[in-house]
Structure 1
Amino acid sequence: MSDTKGHALALRGLSKRYGDFVAVNDVSLEVGKGEFLTLLGPSGSGKTTILMAIAGFVAPSDGAILLDGRDITPLPPEKRDFGMVFQGYALFPHMTVAENVAFPLRVRGMSKADRDAKVRGALDLVQLAAFADRLPKQLSGGQQQRVALARALVFDPALLLLDEPLSALDKKLRAELQEELKALHQRVGRTFVNVTHDQEEALSLSDRIAILNHGRLVQAGAPGELYERPRTRFVADFLGKSNFLEGTVRGAAPGGFALEAGAARLAVRLPDGAAPLAEGSRSLLSLRPEKIALLAEGDAAENVAEGRILAFAYLGAGFSLRVATEHLGEIRATLPAWKSPIAPTEGLPVRLGWSADAAAPVEEDAA
C-alpha cells in the first residue's frame, strides 16, 4: 500500500467537557500515514466525540490535533479537507448518483470536464459506474453507502473519517461491505479513521484499534495484539468473549508462574519479554473460550478442569458451552460442531483442557 497519499494524524492530550461531564479525557494517539485506525468502544465511550473533533465539528476543551505535524485545531471543517462518511449516507435524494458524487467538486469550483472525469474514476473505484444516472432511492443500502464513499473520496481528501458507516446494514451485507472497504483502503492508500462499536468489524478492518471507555484511551494496538494480550479486564471482555480466573501467584519466575485458585493450581506461561509477577500477589487471567479443548478419557493437558455442562448453544460453526467446574466456577468453552467429539446435553460430564500459554494476565479496571 502506498503511503504517498496518506497523512499522519496525532492527538495530543485531547479533552472535551460539557459542563461537569467529561466526554473525552486526555487522549493522545498517533495515526500513521496510510493507516486504517478504528476507534472502538461502547456507547458513551467518547469515540464519536473524538471523530467529530478531528473533523472540526467539535471544539476540544484542551489538547491539540496535528496533521503531518501541523496544528489544525483552530481550523474550521471546510479548511481541513477531510472526507466524511456517515451512518445514514446523507445523500441528496433529488440528485443522481453522479450528481451526488460531483457535489464536493462543484462546491470547490472545478470545471465540468474535470468533474466528470473525477466522478467516473470515483464510481469505478466503488464499482458503481453503471449506476451513475440512478437516484439514491433506486439503490440498495449497500450501494448507497458505496456512493457515499465515492463522494467522500472524489476530491482526494487528506483523511477519510467514517462514523459507523456499516451499522445500518444487515449482517450479511455488512460483512460484504467490510471486505470491500478494506480492499478500497488498500487501493487508495489514504489514512482512514473509523468509529464503530462492532468488535468483529474493528478486528477485520483495522491496521490498529484504539479502545476507549468512559472517555479514556484504554489500549491501542494491532487487532491480534489486543485480542491475544489484552491489558485490562475491560479490553478482554469487550473485544470478544473471555473467562476470568483469579488467584494467587505461586512459583513466580521470568517465564511464568502457577495460579493458585482455591484447590486448583494452573500453569501460566508468559510471553517473551513479559515482566515476572510478584510471588504471593493476586493475579487475574483472561482465557478465551476457543482456546479450551474438550479432552477425551486419557487425554492430558497442562491445565485440566472437570465439570458438567450447564447449558449449550448451537452456533452453526460450533457449540458454545457453559460448564460448571468444582474449583474454577463457570467456564465458557467453544468447540467445532463439525465432527464434534460429543453431542452436548445439559448435565453431561466433560473434561476441559488448555495450554499454559492460553491464558493472559490482565489488570483490573481502574475505578
Structure 2
Amino acid sequence: MSAAAGHALGLLGLTKRYGSFTAVDDVSLDVGRGEFLTLLGPSGSGKTTILMAVAGFVAPTAGSILLDGREITPLPPEKRNFGMVFQGYALFPHMTVADNVAFPLRVRGMSRADRDSKVRAALDLVQLSGFAERLPKQLSGGQQQRVALARALVFDPNLLLLDEPLSALDKKLRAELQEELKALHRRVGRTFINVTHDQEEALSLSDRIAILNHGKLIQAGAPGELYERPRTRFVADFLGKSNFIEGTVAASDADGFVLAAGAARIGVRGQTAPEGTRRLLSLRPEKIALLADGDTADNAVDGRILAWSYLGAGFALRVETDTLGELRATLPAWQAAFAPSEGLPVRLGWSADAAVPVEDDAP
C-alpha cells in the first residue's frame, strides 16, 4: 500500500438543525493535508454530527464542505471516497478477516488478483498478516479494530474518518492502540479526522484538536497550545483539570499584572490587563508545588488538606486555602518529602507564568 499525499478538507459555516434544535452552529474549520485532527467535546457538542456530515450521511442545513477546495456537499457518501471506522467495528461476523477487508474492493468491482494483493498489503500495514482466515469472533477487541482500520484504508480513501474508534477497548489496550494509530497515520500519510470525548486520547494522537460545545467551535489548535493557553473556562476545564481564580487587576505593567482575589495578591507574568478590570485565571494542578520551610515562590498560599488520592505517579490533593478557597494540586509521589493526611497544614506555591487568563464562558 503506497502512502499517498493527504487531502485538505474545509468546513465553511457548517450548520445542522433538527427542528428548533441546532446540533452544529456555523462551524468553519480547515483540515490540512495529511493532518490528524480530532473533534473533541462532551456528549451533544456536535462532533459526531460534523463527522457524519463530512462522510455524507447527514445533509447540512447550511454551509459547505470542500475537499481540496472543491465543493462536495451534495455528493452522496459513495462518491466521496472516504474511509470510516466505527466505534463498534461493524465487521461482518460470517466473513473471514480477508473477506471483511476485501469487501469495499468487491463493491468497486476490482479483480480477484488485485483484491488479494491490496488485502495482503492492508493486513501487513496493521500487523495482521497471519490472521486472514480467522473470523471476527476469533479476534480480540484490539485485533478487530485493526481489521476495521485495514478495511477503511484498503481502497486508498481520500480521508479516514474515525468515530470514537477506541472507546470500546479497556484502558491499557486503548493506550496501546493509540500509539499504533499514530504510527499508522505517519506511515500512510493520509488525512485523519477523529471524534472522541477522551481528552487524553485527543492530546496523544492529534496534530490539532478542535474543541466543540453546544454545536459551536470554541477553540482549535495544537494540543500543547490548547492545554497551555486555553482561551475560555470551558476549554481549560474540559481539556484536563484546572483551578480558577477570579479577581480584579490591582496593578499592571508591560511584564504582567497583579490580581487582587479577596485578600490574596496573585502575580501573573507574560500577560497584560488594564487596572480595575475583572479577570479569571486558569491554574493547572500540576503547576502547583508544595513549599517546604524556607522555600519561596512568586505566589504562595497557606491551607489544609481536605482530601487526597494516591494515583501511582502522584498525589492529587484538595486543599482549602486561607485566601483562595479550594485549590487542587497534583504532586509527584516518587520520593515525596511528605505523607499526605486530611487536615495537614500545607503551603502551596506557583510561578507567575503558571496561571493564564481565560474568558468566563460558564453558563
TM-score (norm 2): 0.98
Aligned to 2:290: 294
Aligned to 1:334: 330
CA contact (8 A) 1:3 1:33 kept: no
CA contact (8 A) 1:41 1:212 kept: yes
Aligned to 2:76: 76
Equivalent position SS for 2:104? helix
Aligned to 1:195: 195
AA aligned opposite 2:349: G
CA contact (8 A) 1:40 1:196 kept: yes
Aligned to 2:319: 323
Aligned to 2:230: 230
Structure 2 CA distance, aligned partners of 1:50 and 1:278?
39
AA aligned opposite 1:254: A
Equivalent position SS for 1:28? strand
Aligned to 1:249: 249
Compute the displacement of 1:366 (Å).
6.4
Aligned to 1:35: 35
- Map 1:156-305; keep pairs closer than 5 Å: 156-270=156-270, 276-305=272-301
CA contact (8 A) 2:3 2:187 kept: no
AA aligned opposite 1:328: L
The 1:355/1:169 distance shift into structure 2, 3 A limit, reads same
Aligned to 1:89: 89
Deviations 1:215-264 (A, max 9, x none): 00000000000000000000000000000000011222232100101111
Deviations 1:56-113 (A, max 9, x none): 0000000000000000000000000000000000000010000000000000000010
Are 2:133 and 1:133 aligned?
A: yes
Equivalent position SS for 2:360? coil
Are 2:358 and 1:362 aligned?
A: yes
CA contact (8 A) 1:310 1:322 kept: yes
Compute the displacement of 1:306 (Å).
0.6
Compute the displacement of 1:44 (Å).
0.1
AA aligned opposite 1:287: L
Could you tell me which of 337, 341, 352 is aligned with 2:348?
Answer: 352
The 1:356/1:89 distance shift into structure 2, 3 A limit, reads same
Aligned to 2:142: 142
TM-score (norm 1): 0.97
Are 2:302 and 1:312 aligned?
A: no
Are 2:40 and 1:8 aligned?
A: no
Compute the displacement of 1:51 (Å).
0.1
The 1:284/1:228 distance shift into structure 2, 3 A limit, reads same
Equivalent position SS for 2:23? strand
Equivalent position SS for 1:91? coil
Equivalent position SS for 1:99? helix
Q: How many residues align?
A: 362
Structure 2 CA distance, aligned partners of 1:231 and 1:149?
34
Are 2:55 and 1:55 aligned?
A: yes
- The answer for unaligned runs of 5 or more in structure 1 is none
CA contact (8 A) 1:163 1:194 kept: yes
User: Which range is displaced more, 333-342 or 54-63?
Assistant: 333-342
Structure 1 CA distance, aligned partners of 2:323 and 2:85?
50
User: Which range is displaced more, 335-344 or 217-226?
Assistant: 335-344
Compute the displacement of 1:4 (Å).
5.1
Structure 1 CA distance, aligned partners of 2:255 and 2:141?
52
Where in structure 1 do 4 or more consecutive aligned residues deviate above 6 Å?
none
Compute the displacement of 1:134 (Å).
0.2
Structure 1 CA distance, aligned partners of 2:328 and 2:200?
19
Compute the displacement of 1:3 (Å).
8.8
Structure 1 CA distance, aligned partners of 2:202 and 2:169?
16
- The answer for unaligned runs of 5 or more in structure 2 is none
CA contact (8 A) 1:286 1:361 kept: yes
Equivalent position SS for 1:37? strand
Are 2:339 and 1:343 aligned?
A: yes
Deviations 1:24-82 (A, max 9, x none): 00000000000000000000000000000000000000000000000000000000000
Structure 2 CA distance, aligned partners of 1:238 and 1:198?
10
CA contact (8 A) 2:3 2:188 kept: no
CA contact (8 A) 2:314 2:334 kept: yes
AA aligned opposite 1:351: R
Compute the displacement of 1:5 (Å).
1.7
